[in-house]
Chain A
Amino acid sequence: MKANALVKIGLSQRIFGVGPQVAEKLCSKVGIYPQMRMSELTESQILSINKELNNLTIEGQLKQKINENIQLKRSIGTIAGMRHASGLPVRGQKTQNNSSTARKLNHLNRHV
């Protein structure tokens, strides 16, 4: 993480599963002021951020959870699961043109 980045931005950009709002909530819970930079964090604050992050489903756990959900949809034979398997948009988008993102991302093992 960049040393001069705002804490809430640094957290949301680097940790999978922590978005801007979660990062802001986390900061307010720990008592970090909104304009605080990464370099200004004390050791105790870093520890308390870590403690809060442990209670969240992030990074590997979250990726695994997403993969499991896709797998479940596939195994029970839902349309969403089949669309994932065929690498096509899941939520009713058109496919004649512009489904490149879905073709790129929608797989059974999305996060490997």
Chain B
Amino acid sequence: MLKIWSRGISTSRVMSAPKHVGGKSKVKQGFKGNSSAKEKVKKSGMTHLKFKDAVRELKFEKFASKVELPILKSESTNGDVVKYSKTVKSKLEQLGSFKKYQHHEAFEEPISLVSNNLINLKTEFFKNFGKDSNKFILKGEHRVGKSTLLTQIQALSKTQFPQVLYLHFSDVGKIRDGSNDYIFNKRLGLYQQPMFTKRFINDFRIANKEVLKTIKLSKDIKFTANKVHYDYKAGENTLYEFLRNCKDFNLKEATSSFQFFIEELKATSVPKLITIDNFNAVTTKPITEYKTTDFEPTHVTEFEMGKFIYNLIDNTLVLPNSGILLSESSDYGKSRNLDIGLGADYNAYELNALDSITIETLLKGKINVFQVENFNKAETSKLLEFYNKCGVLQLRDYVYNQRLPTQVEQGIDLSQLIELNYVKSGGNPGLLFRHVALNY
């Protein structure tokens, strides 16, 4: 049987197609009309940042529940959840004492708990304030609250000494990580970092404004800034005026302004609190990312700021009526330099990996070690009660464990929850917050 295959050709689609014009299509000459311009489509989302940074940038603390809290004072007792006074808080914010990723967004204001750590450190630190031996380093495990303890001591020092000057380094790792410019000062034989120095002086000036206005200069100084010549006299002009008007700290040339500033600090008897956070950033890797013009590595002590810190520690530079509080960070890995500098034993095989300058500096300084401990059960329960009051305490909506309450309306049996979270976190405040608010 012959089967004729016919291809079904539909003409309807061909007919509906637009007319083909041979050759190149004609382009209309002239300007593009406004109608052809695409309108910008607004992208969804409030920020380009990732969640961790976005909560800080978008100020989530505005949405936190309002809870009345006492202000941190020297009379505050163990287990009190406290906030910082307005004046102190603004100073600490300026100095960079409140760090990101500390979950301040969960509360209306930065809060802290008065722990045994604070009470012990407070008595030890303020007892010998002003003596050369008054140097402490805070050591402890990850998320135990070393930086928070440092901040608490800063706040308490204001109640202890109303005229205190804050000299705070929020992250000394920035001296060595290559993020600031550097210039060699031939006269001093040191590298200067104008960007870092400028920021430090700016923060220092704003945070200590009232006290600096009372400190008169001990030496005459002349300088020019913004085409204006300044001639400051000793005993007449204040240190605040000098720091405000002198722009030499940010000069892209060698300058001795910071040395003058150190001399002025030496001349005043005002109490000074020197706090250095992330101190082990320098001791772990004392060789910096910067290189000399001959491509040779540089040590931290070859930098003006690094030298200033090392001199403060080994008592080469003594600022009268001051106390030094250092804090290590678990972000920078472990190094034996700090441990050996604080008195630990060493063996001959590890000598090549050690830095003699750092160890000698630390040994000369005779720094006292303060071990920051985890919260005990009573402190943990106080903190959890506060979390519950603020609405930060989260409960699982499914039965994780038979003992856990499942509905908030039934009334939370906090004792069970405290016990569970205390066991899970071991009293570590960072982990506790994680278990309670982030990984619930």
Enumerate chain A interface residues (CB-CB to B < 8 A): 24-25, 28-29, 31, 33-36
Contact = CB atoms under 8 A, between A and B. Distances in A.
Chain A interface main SS type = loop
Nearest to A40: B181
B295 A34 contact: no
B433 interface: no
B293 A34 contact: no
Contact of A33 (B182, B292, B293, B295): B182
B295 A31 contact: no
Interface in B10-31: none
B177 A24 contact: no
Interface residues of B, number: 13
Contacts of A33: 178-182, 290
Nearest to A30: B293
Contacts of B181: 33, 36
B290 A25 contact: no
B417 interface: no
Interface of B: 177-183, 289-293, 295
Given A28-B290, A31-B182, A33-B178, 12 more contacts: A24-B291, A24-B295, A25-B291, A28-B293, A31-B183, A31-B293, A33-B179, A33-B180, A33-B290, A34-B178, A34-B179, A36-B181
A59 B292 CA distance: 27
Contacts of B177: 35
Contacts of A34: 178-179, 289-290
A88 B293 CA distance: 42
Nearest to B182: A33
A54 to B, nearest CB: 18
B276 to A, nearest CB: 22
B180 A29 contact: no
B271 to A, nearest CB: 35
Contacts of A29: 293, 295
Nearest to B177: A35
Contacts of B183: 31
B244 to A, nearest CB: 26
The 7 closest A-B pairs by CB, nearest first: A34-B178, A28-B291, A35-B179, A34-B289, A33-B181, A35-B178, A25-B295
A33 B252 CA distance: 13
A28 B292 contact: yes
A31 B177 CA distance: 15
Nearest to A29: B293
Nearest to B288: A34
Contacts of B293: 28-29, 31
A36 B290 CA distance: 12
Contacts of B180: 33
Contacts of A25: 291, 295
A35 B174 CA distance: 11
A28 B291 CA distance: 6
A29 B178 CA distance: 15
A8 to B, nearest CB: 10
A111 B143 CA distance: 56
Given A34-B289, A34-B290, A28 B295 contact: yes
